[in-house]
A and B are shown apart, each in its own frame.
Chain A
């Protein structure tokens, strides 16, 4: 059967259509998928795109980072209490973790409106304690990323005092939690 094997020129559809128009492929040999493609074309034509050899210079639309307002609350929670004692059971679709309960309680107390930031944090801790979830506090507070030497000494001091894993948090908006043992 006649065909054109140039995958880099045009799409599968354009090649077959042109072969039929020129008479190389007879109408009786029309492929099965041809009418279906004409009736339901894809969103983007399957053209071959040449790979860039130069380093990417377009920075207008990188993929946006996803952050929520509650991430700040979550960052403070993990920095204060460490990773929760309860593991994340992700196979249940409606699972609510300790940190998520904390965040929900925080937002609820915030919407009532009386307290400010630091007090809100304490209040949520107490409210969760009242509901029966004990939150074990981590020993030392967070360390800033600027002073590396002091961080190393702090880490060794923490490992002696706390015994659990140590986390590092940065003060910028994007917080990454890395667990090092």
Chain B
């Protein structure tokens, strides 16, 4: 159980993407200078003709941490919830969640969803162990209520923060573009792949008769 935690990159997250693939997906494009959030300034590379450019070196590190965290949580059988209030990508996010066997919430977030869950859904509800925000703003350009609620219920959060978002309450923020379709498709693809990979590894580990470390690592090497 603790074996995957000892290795720095057990799920080979760094092979899934590079700075070039992020650039081609236009992840580095931010909003205009006037929309910039004060707390996003450290994550910005610069400002080209009033449009903010996000520093992709930092994005790569943050995205690797975030994907690694999701992979480990999925490996341990955690419940992951995808949230995005952007209407144009709701279909994509729901299909992503279906594709990796996790959950998505792209509709109106009711006030007591997390904080009042036992009463709204019945006693003994299992809350998500990780919430992934593919866009941290709601339709009125304010911070999504779910970020604050997850912090209240002690649930870690991962979020794609654009240059007009507040990254302070997110456990693993990922600075990047959240408005372009190609960027969103990239994120959804990455999350789906890493969760499926983590679940497959979990199945491999369970199928072994005894989880002896050297034998397990050999088997994983041959099966991958």
Q: Does B52 contact A (CB under 8 A)?
A: yes
Taking a contact as CB atoms under 8 Å apart, the answer to whether B39 and A49 are in contact is: yes
| Nearest Cβ on chain B to A3's Cβ, whole angstroms | 5
Q: Report if A66-B62 is in contact (Cβ < 8 Å); known contacts: A5-B152, A36-B69, A40-B68.
A: no
Instruction: List A contacts of B173 (CB < 8 A).
Output: 42
Contacts from A to B (Cβ < 8 Å): 3-7, 11-13, 15-16, 31-33, 35-37, 39-40, 42-43, 46-49, 52, 56, 61-67, 93, 174, 176
Taking a contact as CB atoms under 8 Å apart, the answer to whether B171 and A12 are in contact is: yes
Option from B38, B129, B157 in Cβ contact (under 8 Å) with A52: B38
Instruction: List B contacts of A11 (CB < 8 A).
Output: 171
Contacts from B to A (Cβ < 8 Å): 2, 5-6, 24, 33, 36, 38-39, 41, 44-50, 52-53, 61-62, 65, 68-69, 72-73, 76-78, 115, 129-130, 148, 151-157, 166, 168-173
Q: Report if A5-B72 is in contact (Cβ < 8 Å); known contacts: A12-B151, A66-B48.
A: no
Instruction: List B contacts of A46 (CB < 8 A).
Output: 151, 157, 168-171
Taking a contact as CB atoms under 8 Å apart, the answer to whether B46 and A37 are in contact is: no
Taking a contact as CB atoms under 8 Å apart, the answer to whether A32 and B73 are in contact is: yes
Option from A6, A7, A13, A64 in Cβ contact (under 8 Å) with B169: A7
Instruction: List A contacts of B65 (CB < 8 A).
Output: 40, 42-43
